[in-house]
Amino acid sequence: MKFLIKVRLKNGILDPQGKTVHQALQHLGYKQIQDVRIGKLIEVEIDESDPQKARQILQEASQKLLANPVIEDFEIQPEE
Amino acid sequence: MEVKSAVIVFPGSNCDADVYEALRLMGARVEYVWHKERQLDDYDLVVLPGGFSYGDYLRAGAIARFSPIMQEVVRFSRKGGRVLGICNGFQILTEAGLLPGALLRNQNLRFVCKFVYVRVENPHTPFTHRIPVKKPLRIPIAHGEGNYVIDLAGLKQLESNGQIVFRYATADNQITPEANPNGSVANIAGIINPEGNVLGMMPHPERAMEALLGSEDGRWVFESLMSG
């Protein structure tokens, strides 16, 4: 099964990369874009046919390694 | 008494030889310990050096933190052994949960490589007790991810426990926003655990050992570790 894990900086944690990209977009004339935050998208292929179990494993792996719970939140989604 | 010290080498460490030389210069017995080893019983001091362990992939320090030796570093620190993490070593210590908070991308998004001054906020640690009173240390930094963050409750705890050991300062020892090279909260450059035996710092004392090379203020940190 394939899953996507979205890792994002927690709300309230300053994202200098997102800020800089936002400024660049402003310079390009995209005045409507109000904010940009940049995260990571991790594609995982897992050898486990039970989606519930797969999710559990990825939950643990994300907490342990893929995200740093001090600064990041994560979301696990199955990929169609 | 001779201090027995270990310099941990991860794939991608690049300050290990400098730390080795700094410790040797100060009279310690030094050995390199490869990250796949699982034994630290014979040492008084363990140093996690700077560099780019595992290419800084995912997050700086995130993968090194699971190297076999890190379990030993945790055990060593629980027994009261002294652990010094410099730069990438500091990042590994936060990822491993041995120190609170995290290190994010520098606020200006640049890799910053220059001499800075740090003020010693807690001289009563094994890492700082020999530093002359009120002397700001002139030590270089070289990092892209040294922007220290911690939540407000955590910051208060650091402050009330005296866990903030170094802050970025001006040459006359003042804490100002201009002296902050990376956006760290409260100008934090180095912190210690509540037990006082694990220190992480972004500046590189091992690169400030010779006046000829710009500064020898880094010696104070190693000298502190050599005595008491």
Catalytic, out of B72, B87, B95, B143 = B87
Question: What's the confidence (pLDDT) of residue B58?
Answer: 93
Helix ranges (DSSP H) in B68-218: 68-78, 88-95, 152-160
B134: left (phi over 0), alpha (psi -120 to 50) or beta: left
Q: What b/e string do you get for B164-198 counting C-beta neighbours within 10 Å, with b at 16 or more?
A: bbbbbbeeebeeeeebbbbbbbbbbbbbbbeebbb
Whether B204 is catalytic = yes
Is A68 within 8 Å of B102 when comparing Cβ atoms?
Answer: yes
Burial class (CB in 10 A: 0-12, 13-18, 19+), B72: buried
Whether B206 is catalytic = yes
- pLDDT of residue B1 exceeding 80, the answer is no
CATH of the domain at B54: 3.40.50.880
Which chain A residues are closer than 8 Å to B58 by Cβ? 65-66
Amino acid at B89: G
- Residue B14 is classified by DSSP as -
For residue B16, CA distances in Å to B65, B116, B118, B174, B204 come to: 17, 21, 22, 32, 11
pLDDT digit string (tens) for A21-75?
Answer: 999 999 999 999 999 999 999 999 999 999 999 999 999 999 999 999 999 999 9
Question: What's the confidence (pLDDT) of residue B169?
Answer: 98
The number of distinct structural domains making up chain B is 1
Question: What's the confidence (pLDDT) of residue B228?
Answer: 66
Q: How far apart are CA B6 and CA B206, in angstroms?
A: 14
Is residue A74 within 8 Å of A65, Cβ to Cβ?
Answer: no
For residue B60, CA distances in Å to B52, B87, B104, B151 come to: 7, 10, 9, 20
Whether ipTM tops 0.85, in short, is: no
Domains of chain A as residue ranges with CATH: 2-78 (3.30.1280.10)
Q: How far apart are CA A34 and CA A26, in angstroms?
A: 9
Dihedral, CA atoms, B25, B89, B103, B126, nearest 10 degrees?
Answer: -60
Q: How far apart are CA B123 and CA B53, in angstroms?
A: 30
Q: Is B185 on the interface with A (CB under 8 A)?
A: no
Helix (H, G, I), strand (E, B), or coil: what is residue A61? helix
Closest CB to B62: pick one of A14, A16, A68: A68
Q: What b/e string do you get for B31-68 counting C-beta neighbours within 10 Å, with b at 16 or more?
A: eebebeeeebeebbbbbbbbbbbbebebbbbbbbbebe
Q: Which of the residues B54, B59, B65, B99 would you substitute to probe the A interface, choosing the one with the greatest number of A C-beta atoms within 10 Å?
A: B59
Is residue B80 within 8 Å of B195, Cβ to Cβ?
Answer: yes
Q: Containing H/E element for A56?
A: helix A51-61
Two tokens, residue B195: 């037990």
Q: Could you tell me the residue range of the domain that residue B163 belongs to?
A: 4-226
Question: What's the confidence (pLDDT) of residue A12?
Answer: 87
pLDDT digit string (tens) for B129-156?
Answer: 999 999 999 999 999 999 999 999 999 9
Q: How far apart are CA A74 and CA A4, in angstroms?
A: 10
Query: Pick from B136, B147, B218, B158: which is nearest to B181 by CA?
Result: B147
Q: Are strands A72-78 and B4-9 parallel, antiparallel or unpaired?
A: unpaired
Output the pTM of the full model.
Answer: 0.93
Q: Which of the residues A5, A21, A65, A72 would you substitute to probe the B interface, choosing the one with the greatest number of B C-beta atoms within 10 Å?
A: A65
Which chain A residues are closer than 8 Å to B107 by Cβ? 14, 16
- Taking CB atoms and an 8 Å cut-off, how many pairs form between chains A and B? 35
pLDDT digit string (tens) for B81-119?
Answer: 999 999 999 999 999 999 999 999 999 989 999 999 999
